[in-house]
């Protein structure tokens, strides 16, 4: 259900950013990642280049590499099959499949992701169809992207002090750079800055 609603808002907002009808649906079908698609819309919507948008989306999804490492021993079959089973790695399913102590349940991971995929693509179609009849700002829909990221961030910050330090440096850098650089640059610079800050902390 949250997946469906977020997908509807993605469709509506992508329409409002002049993505047309096909592109938002294609994005949900082949990317299937709220955080990456919102990052793309965020950076491109603010006038950023494709490169800046891609870098932002890839960085925000780098967490899936860590999740993939965690579930690696849980998946079955040869390399090709493992590669496709690994596509079931999304935040909610990964959390649901976590059995603790580094063990994961493959059936829960995949079983939880399939309905989310249907809801994600279906919701995007509904959002794109409704797009023209909705004024995103009047409904406060421009809050959805940053609020969704804030929710993911707060979960991240609960995992330790280093995360809070990295986030603090990244936030300060982004804030300072916004007036002086093209959109997208503050986001990339914030990452580099966070890593420098991490090194100094050690």
Task: Rank residues 6 and 97 by Cβ distance to other proteins and give the closer one.
Answer: 6
Site for other proteins (CB under 8 A): how many residues? 98
12 binds other proteins (CB under 8 A): no
Grouping H, G, I as helix, E, B as strand and the rest as coil, residue 32 is coil
Cα(186)–Cα(87) distance, integer angstroms: 30
From candidates 100, 101, 138, 200, binder to other proteins by CB under 8 A: 138
From candidates 11, 127, 134, 145, binder to other proteins by CB under 8 A: 145
190 binds other proteins (CB under 8 A): yes
7 binds other proteins (CB under 8 A): no
Cα(40)–Cα(10) distance, integer angstroms: 11
140 binds other proteins (CB under 8 A): yes
Q: How far is the CB of 13 from other proteins (least distance, A)?
A: 11
* Radius of gyration, CA atoms only, the chain: 18
C-beta contacts of 50-53 below 8 A and 24+ residues apart: 51/184, 52/182, 52/183, 52/184, 52/185, 52/187, 52/188, 53/184
| Six-digit token string for 144 | 């959805």
From candidates 89, 93, 116, 124, binder to other proteins by CB under 8 A: 89
114 binds other proteins (CB under 8 A): no
Cα(192)–Cα(196) distance, integer angstroms: 6
C-alpha distances out from residue 141 to 14, 22, 201, Å:
11, 21, 38
The interface with other proteins within residues 57-86 (CB under 8 A) comprises 57-73, 75, 79, 82-86
The interface with other proteins within residues 20-59 (CB under 8 A) comprises 20, 23, 26-27, 30-33, 36, 38-40, 42, 44, 46-47, 49-50, 53-54, 56-59
């Amino acid at each position: 259900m949250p997946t469906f609603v977020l997908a509807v808002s993605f469709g509506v907002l992508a329409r409002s950013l002049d993505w047309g009808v096909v592109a938002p649906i294609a994005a949900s079908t082949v990317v299937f990642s709220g955080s990456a698609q919102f990052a793309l819309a965020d950076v491109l919507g603010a006038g950023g280049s494709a490169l800046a948008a891609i870098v932002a989306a890839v960085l925000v999804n780098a967490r899936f590499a860590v999740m993939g490492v965690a579930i690696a021993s849980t998946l079955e079959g040869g390399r090709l099959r493992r590669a496709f089973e690994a596509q079931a790695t999304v935040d909610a399913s990964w959390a649901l499949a976590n059995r603790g102590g580094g063990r994961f349940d493959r059936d829960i991971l995949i079983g939880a992701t399939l309905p989310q995929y249907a809801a994600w693509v279906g919701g995007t179609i509904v959002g794109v169809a409704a797009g023209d009849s909705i004024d995103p700002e009047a409904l406060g829909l421009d809050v959805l992207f940053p609020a969704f990221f804030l929710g993911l961030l707060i979960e991240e910050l609960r995992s330790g002090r280093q995360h809070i330090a990295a986030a603090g440096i990244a936030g300060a850098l982004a804030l300072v750079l916004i007036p002086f650089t093209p959109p997208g640059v503050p986001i990339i610079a914030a990452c580099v800055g966070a890593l420098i800050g991490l090194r100094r902390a050690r």
